[in-house]
Amino acid sequence: MTKPHVRTYRDALDQAYACIDAQAAAIEAAAKVTAAAIADDQLIHVIGPGGHSNMAAEEVLWRAGGLVPINAILDAGTNLIHGAKRSNYVERTPGYATKVLDAYRVGRTDGEVIIIVNAYGINPMTIDTALEARARGMTSIGVTSRSFADQLAADHPSRHPSAKNLYQEVDHFLDVCVPYGDAVVAFDGATQKTGPTATMCNLYMMNLLMIETVAQLVDMGIDPPLWMSANLPGGDEANATNEARFIPRIRHLG
């Protein structure tokens, strides 16, 4: 028998996934943008500005069955391996995102596409990324949760000074439907809930977007550039051409 707390967690995720699934039109519209960029031999920039959000960028970099032209922006300042609390300080630093985009040479040509993944969608690095992308003439896709952002007080210390929300500052908004507070499982005798949902929702949405991008490329008559698992027989050979082509263009691929 499934324990009640396991059922609670699964039900919360199922509810979020159903909310994500209902956004087929929004996902398709965003995928048309990413597919067109790939067809034009552009990279798709992906950034998770803050802490665990980095995992969304890692998920789509050099992934079995994943698209090849993904430029994951994995800034050391917000990577948890260099300090979890340090990451929290850095993501709350106004202006920091601009220098990260400069370091990754993002937005050098018109019409570049950037996917900004942050379930809460309110910290300074996240909002500055969206604002800077707009200033650089980029097309932005925001993967975030409206319900969370709308409920958080405008003067909360983790917010951007403008109190803006990511979903309002991007060209395409994909709602990951994260419940307020993120964690969803409560126990009598435990002050704080457990069972976080944000990363699961972010990754689900990201993979749906990648799958739909592949579908769009196929509809355009383009054989999608996809990685084969390096752990399968023939994987290294299958990936060699794309590695040679894209390692010079994607910082974290080599």
- pLDDT tens digits along 66-107: 999 999 999 999 999 999 999 999 999 999 999 999 999 999
Helices (H), the chain: 4-21, 24-39, 54-59, 84-91, 96-103, 124-135, 146-151, 198-219, 235-246
d(CA 150, CA 79): 26
- Whether residue 110 is predicted with pLDDT greater than 90 in this model: the reply is no
Q: Is residue 246 part of a domain?
A: no
Helices (H), 93-234: 96-103, 124-135, 146-151, 198-219
Q: Is residue 249 part of a domain?
A: no
Amino acid at 202: N
Percent of the chain with pLDDT over 70: 100
Q: Is residue 162 part of a domain?
A: yes
Q: What pLDDT digit, counting tens, does each position of 35-74 carry?
A: 999 999 999 999 999 999 999 999 999 999 999 999 999 9
Q: Is residue 232 part of a domain?
A: no
Percent of the chain with pLDDT over 90: 96
Q: Is residue 236 part of a domain?
A: no
Q: Is residue 59 part of a domain?
A: yes
Q: Is residue 37 part of a domain?
A: yes
Expressed as residue numbers, the domain containing 193 is 4-227
- The pLDDT, as a whole number, for residue 111 is 87
Of the pLDDT bands very low, low, confident and very high (cuts 50, 70, 90), residue 156 is: very high
- The pLDDT, as a whole number, for residue 109 is 87
- The pLDDT, as a whole number, for residue 212 is 98
> How many domains does the chain fold into?
1
- Whether residue 1 is predicted with pLDDT greater than 80 in this model: the reply is no
Q: Is residue 119 part of a domain?
A: yes
pTM above 0.95, yes or no: yes
CATH number for the domain that contains residue 127: 3.40.50.10490
Structure tokens at 3: 């324990």
Of the pLDDT bands very low, low, confident and very high (cuts 50, 70, 90), residue 207 is: very high
